[in-house]
Structures are given as C-alpha cells and as structure tokens.
Structure 1
Amino acid sequence: MADSQYDQFLHEATAPDAASGTGVGRDCLYGVYTSWCFLSRSVPRAEDAFWTAMKKKKIRPGRTPLRIKGPAAADYILSTYPGMV
C-alpha cells in the first residue's frame, strides 16, 4: 500500500481533535484502519507496516490529538461493541 493510501485513510477516517488533547489508542486506530480497508476494498497492510507509516507521519497513538469519523469509524464501533445495535 502506497503512502498516499495511508493519507487517504487519515483524511477519510480521522480528524484533528485539539479540544480533547488526547488521541485515539493504538488498538482503535488500527481497527479503524482495517475497517476503512474493508469498506474501500483495499488490502490492509500488516500492523507493523501501518505503525511505521504512522510514525513517519508523526502520529503517536494516545498522544496525537485525533478523533475517528465517517463510515470506517461507525463500522469499527459496531464491530467492537455489537450490543449497541
């Protein structure tokens, strides 16, 4: 997966959240990424490759103020918490 697809994932499934001061955790961010890949019919890269790319983009789970958004976030939440349906 080219870096541009990571950029597309970040653009479509995350947003800056300076108000909270914290970001989503490691499991959540990778989970939203895999949901995004499923919905966009992309093959997800291994978790190590994903974190290497995020590190290059200076995204640190739990520290970079991000929130999840969009269809991938909804898919992740519903998959993680099926009792919410």
Structure 2
Amino acid sequence: MAHSQFDIFLQEATHFDQVSGSNLDRDRLYGLYTSWCFINQQAPGPESNFWAAMKHKVSLRHNGLRMKGPAAADYILSSYPRLS
C-alpha cells in the first residue's frame, strides 16, 4: 500500500504522546508540515488538501501529537529566530 505525502509527514515529523496530553494546534501542525516539506525538498500541497487529509488522520482538537525530527528543529528555529 502506497503511503501519501501526509502519511509520511506524520510518521517522520510527529509522535503520538498519550501520557503528556500534548496537542499540536492547527498553526503548529501546518507549520511543521511546511518545514517537513522544506527539509525533504518537496513542494507543499495546497493547504486545503492538507486539512482534508488531516481530517481523516488526526483530531484537530485533542490529537496527542508532538513534534520530532529535523522538521521540528526547522520549525522551532524558523518560528523563534532569536534561538539561532
């Protein structure tokens, strides 16, 4: 079964953490996706396609997701330039 770009993104850039009660809100999740696309030299799909795919893959309210990997580092450094 072929995995979509969105499935690979979730696998490589997020981690489900049911213990901490963490949650990636819409802005952070999409920002992480664009960072993941940048790191992997892939053009991000239209934002509407991203949200349509996420609707079937994760809850946008209480998803238990945490960032991980190079895309997380890129997103954090891009969001908070004083850290770099």
Length-normalised TM-score, structure 1: 0.89
Is the 1:3–1:53 contact (alpha carbons within 8 Å) kept by the matching residues of 2?
no
Structure 2 distance, partners of 1:14, 1:47, is 18
Q: Which residue of 2 aligns with 1:13?
A: 13
Percent identity over paired residues:
55
Shift of 1:60: 2.2
Quick check: 1:70 aligned with 2:69?
yes
Q: Which residue of 2 aligns with 1:41?
A: 41
Query: How many pairs were matched up?
Result: 83
RMSD: 1.5
Q: Which residue of 2 aligns with 1:80?
A: 79
Tell me which moved more, 74-83 or 15-24.
15-24
Instruction: Mark the runs of 5 or more structure 2 residues left unpaired by the alignment.
Output: none
Deviations 1:17-51 (A, max 9, x none): 11122311110000000000011111101211101
Is the 1:17–1:65 contact (alpha carbons within 8 Å) kept by the matching residues of 2?
yes
Structure 2 distance, partners of 1:41, 1:20, is 32
Instruction: Mark the runs of 5 or more structure 1 residues left unpaired by the alignment.
Output: none
Structure 2 distance, partners of 1:71, 1:22, is 19
Structure 1 distance, partners of 2:61, 2:22, is 6
Is the 1:13–1:68 contact (alpha carbons within 8 Å) kept by the matching residues of 2?
yes
Deviations 1:58-84 (A, max 9, x none): x12341101000000000000000011
AA paired with 1:76? Y
Match of 1:22, SS state, is coil
